[in-house]
Amino acid sequence: MRILLRNTLFFVLSVFSLIMLTGCQEGGGVNSIVDSLNPGAKKYDAAYLKQTLIPGKTTKTQVMQLFGAPAEEELDNTSRRNGSNWTYSKNEEGVDKYLKLAHKYVSTETSLKMYDTEAQVDKGQRMLDDANSVAGTRRPSSSTTGSRLIIYFVDDVVDHYRLY
């Protein structure tokens, strides 16, 4: 059992180290590398959504094909319209999803070490962002991104959406 825990910790630390090193070399930062590990990450980009989700045209079936199943689904019982909304949360998919699973099955000590590693990676990303800003090499963001997407449907067609 101890070997399994040690191997799990080693794997998680290796993945974060690889992400950190790749982010430094590519100049895109850790967040862009983590997003590339999650093919559904495009749904949190405002420019992509503007091209993809067309109110009055895009259907639930098309959204399901593009983004997969939502983390939450609600029906709108308050109006006469046949409304519903789907919510997608970035922390419920990709690398974050697997880290949450790992935390459930490792010891408290290992879990705390994993949290510490995640915090160190985040601190490293902020340091790189600051260094790029001071050096004038920071790339301007081409679009707005979020971590939570809510799509509102009427009669199974996109009515509107919000990105937070």
Among 25-29, 38-42, 54-58, 153-157, which is the least confidently predicted range? 25-29
Residue count (the chain): 164
Q: Tell me the helix, strand and coil percentages in the chain, rounded to 5.
A: 60, 20, 25
* Residue 81 pLDDT: 75
Give the burial class of 157: count Cβ atoms within 10 A of its Cβ; 0-12 exposed, 13-18 middle, 19 or more buried: middle
Structurally, the chain folds into a number of domains equal to: 1
pLDDT for position 25: 43
Contacts of 146 (CB under 8 A, 6+ apart): 44, 46, 90, 163, 164
pLDDT of residue 23: 47
Q: Average pLDDT over the chain, rounded to whole?
A: 78
Q: Dihedral of the CA atoms 75, 64, 146, 135 (nearest 10)?
A: 180
User: Model pTM?
Assistant: 0.59
pLDDT in tens, 133-162: 788 776 555 557 888 999 999 999 999 999
Percent of the chain with pLDDT over 70: 70
* Encoded amino acid at 34, one letter: V
Domain residues for the domain of 67 are 2-163
> Which pLDDT band, with edges at 50, 70 and 90, does 27 fall under?
very low
Q: Model confidence over 92-130: pLDDT tens digits?
A: 776 777 787 888 888 899 888 888 888 887 788 778 778
Nearest to 21 by CA among 145, 155, 128: 128
* Confidence at 39, pLDDT banded by 50, 70, 90: low
CA distance 111 to 22: 24
CA distance 71 to 86: 8
Which amino acid, residue 114? M
